[in-house]
Homo-oligomer: A and B are copies of this chain.
């Protein structure tokens, strides 16, 4: 039996007789044969691997479980297809250059990018090299890039609506960074739902870190001591907000209701347990992988929006 026939079996078994197919499969089982991936990549020009590129500042990565959850989910979704995930850190300028060079050299077939900031130079470089990319969250300021996002606006609106239904009248918000899609869209949802209740003094800005949630909440309390609810744009910042409220002698939820966003494990562990908006992070990562592989296979990019879900706990 020729090498060519074996290769055909390995690559989809087209134009192979049933008897040859069976014989090859049996031989593969018996010998535990595994194709040499380097030889295959050399001729196909495909690496059959994908990079997961981390661009977030160090502290956030360790504080906020969101990133680890997506990383792990992506690794698992890829493993099911026997595609390795290569982790790259592109925090500094030099790391970014190294990452672009590495990717452009064809070491990986595509890139998974998490929470891209507006005008990200890394994304710009990657696109100019025509590297298949899928981001999580709509990349601000880029067109024709594939992405997967949660329904940020819908989720934020649902939370504000819930706070209103709970009888809260003075609802503030702590935003995420406004150069990220999540930060921007959660604020947009808040604005839309607040409508004529809206007042700019009810808005304070954070950067997704716990400490920023605490600081922004303290600002709000100083400016508007009359607030009776806060929608905080991430669970981690909400943890900071709860701390700030305690420091100012406000009870949660009696004096001030607090709602978060994400529903990572932290939300249920807070005191009191946090009402929040659940993002389907696992599913986002899985869809991101699926979409990237399609694009690598030559399909056009797409934008996928997945539903969020309000999870009511004791904090509201």
Residues of A within 8 A of B (CB): 34, 36-39, 41-42, 47, 49, 52, 54, 58-59, 61-63, 65, 67-69, 71-72, 75-76, 79, 82, 84-89, 95, 98, 101-102, 105-107, 210-211, 243, 264-265, 269, 271
Contact = CB atoms under 8 A, between A and B. Distances in A.
Can you tell how many copies of this chain the complex includes? 2
A269 B243 CA distance: 11
A89 B72 contact: yes
A107 B86 contact: no
Contacts of A210: 269
Contact of A47 (B38, B65, B265): B38
A224 to B, nearest CB: 25
A102 to B, nearest CB: 7
A37 B107 contact: yes
A101 B271 CA distance: 45
Nearest to A85: B87
Given A52-B87, A54-B72, A75-B87, 17 more contacts: A34-B105, A38-B41, A42-B42, A58-B72, A61-B72, A62-B68, A62-B264, A67-B68, A68-B68, A72-B89, A79-B95, A79-B98, A84-B102, A84-B107, A86-B86, A210-B269, A211-B269
